[in-house]
Structure 1
């Protein structure tokens, strides 16, 4: 199967949002790398900077008003191999947890909202903080703000879940998230203060998103609605979804789009399965139901 067929399959499969986010970031990076090489060989290397300015988000408001789409495109644009490598690794590791427990749509919502809040923090910092005003006009690119939102959200959702880190061993992800936040705070004194502040914006969004979701408020519903509207335009008709629920689950899930509570009978069956075969034997749907039950 060709690379193009693999990419096409990635975007035609349902429930594949994490891979789609990864592929979009990698494709944009690869296209920019090829474009930069071609422009350099054509002796018009300066044109690459012109292209990059159409994707990176500026910090000055007049330029941002002329390029409003950059509040999102910057979060899919990278200009360095290690930059995209670490961002995509973190997105994959922590995004798998968010996707497994909350589903694909909420993962996408979290990524988009993290990018938007990170952009807001970035712009406000350069326009309102006096010490940063000399750097006004500096652009920002990279998925770090959105990825930080995913990291903090996963740690808020499952604080005691452990990752096995090379040379360190098992570490609870709440400590990994805390380290990421501390590194961003320390980086404000460095050469990229606005970018580090954008990371903190993503961290705030990740925490608030999960906190509100556990209270029954899904902050990502507008993002999901826009996505469904775009999907309807692309396919020429709105997507119709049929959901089957038991009366108990329907009543428990009535809290303003929050996490619907599964009936106790289903939870008992899931717990029996864990006692027989272990937690890893659970399906994605069963893990999501078990998590929702823990929020009672």
Structure 2
């Protein structure tokens, strides 16, 4: 039974093709060894902090002088976390908004927004730390770590694409995701005066990327096409026409047309019939 559970999880993370499961799985897999080492050192009262090592070698440094030898951290910082709750809340936000994102856009677009959101967060972090004088004195010891910038990119991209999509929240009822994204963004602006100012700057960078990507997409340009695989040419003889798959009565052509309309005009411009077709397709 345990073997079956492991196989199911392995399939979802690495072979399902769903980027939401992939990024949640990768972040969790990377975190587990760190957490186990931290637990052992705590129980044995060992004078060793594994999170200090993680920050030293995998977090993104604010100091430009450290970047030549820590250049790889512009990617690694997105996949390491500084404690369980840091990981938990990032993955929870990614799960909530990522599901909505995947209902309307493609896996390729999810990958693009997640990765470039993290890169934008890194760029904003380094620029902000070096531009604002208030951070100058402690610049050598400032780092940022975590997938928050990537997650913020997904959150804001989703809220920009379908702003009136609503979550049901306990005690609050239905709340449109555009208000949730705005609340996240405002909190990050206010947190620029806190001890985690660098993290907030990275979040803002991710948010800017997510918003910009969807706006450009709605104008007809899809930046994520750089990830698109070019089909190989082959000669086909005497083959029967290939039938496109259908989704509970909705053809793939109809789904593609609806997604194109969303990318150009937004979800709110869909007719009631188009929304119903997309809903049926998403439930397949």
Q: Quick one: which of 149, 154, 157 aligns to 1:145?
A: 149
Question: Secondary structure, in 3 states, of the residue corresponding to 1:194?
Answer: helix
Between stretches 9-18 and 117-126, larger displacement belongs to 9-18
1:74 aligns with 2:77: yes
What residue is the counterpart of 1:33 in the other structure?
35
Change (3 A) 1:12 1:84: closer
Q: Any runs of at least 4 consecutive aligned residues in structure 1 with deviations exceeding 4 A, and if so which?
A: 238-246, 258-261
What residue is the counterpart of 1:271 in the other structure?
273
Aligned-partner Cα distance in 2 for 1:172–1:110:
21
* Counterpart mapping for 1:1-296 below 5 A: 1-2=2-3, 4-38=6-40, 41=44, 43=46, 45-46=48-49, 49-137=52-140, 138-222=142-226, 224=227, 240=232, 259=263, 271=273, 274=276, 280=279, 282-284=280-282
Change (3 A) 1:215 1:109: same
Change (3 A) 1:158 1:241: farther
Number of residue equivalences: 258
5+ residue gaps, structure 2, are 235-241, 245-250
Matched-pair contact (CA < 8 Å) for 1:113–1:220 = no
5+ residue gaps, structure 1, are 229-237, 262-266, 287-296
1:95-143 CA-to-partner distances (Å, cap 9, x unmatched) read 1111111111111110101100000000001111111212313111011
Report how far residue 49 of structure 1 moved.
2.5
Report how far residue 200 of structure 1 moved.
0.7
Compute the TM-score of the two structures, normalised by the length of structure 2.
0.79
Compute the TM-score of the two structures, normalised by the length of structure 1.
0.76
Aligned-partner Cα distance in 2 for 1:195–1:110:
18
Q: Once superposed, what is the RMSD of the aligned Cα atoms?
A: 3.4
Matched-pair contact (CA < 8 Å) for 1:163–1:173 = yes
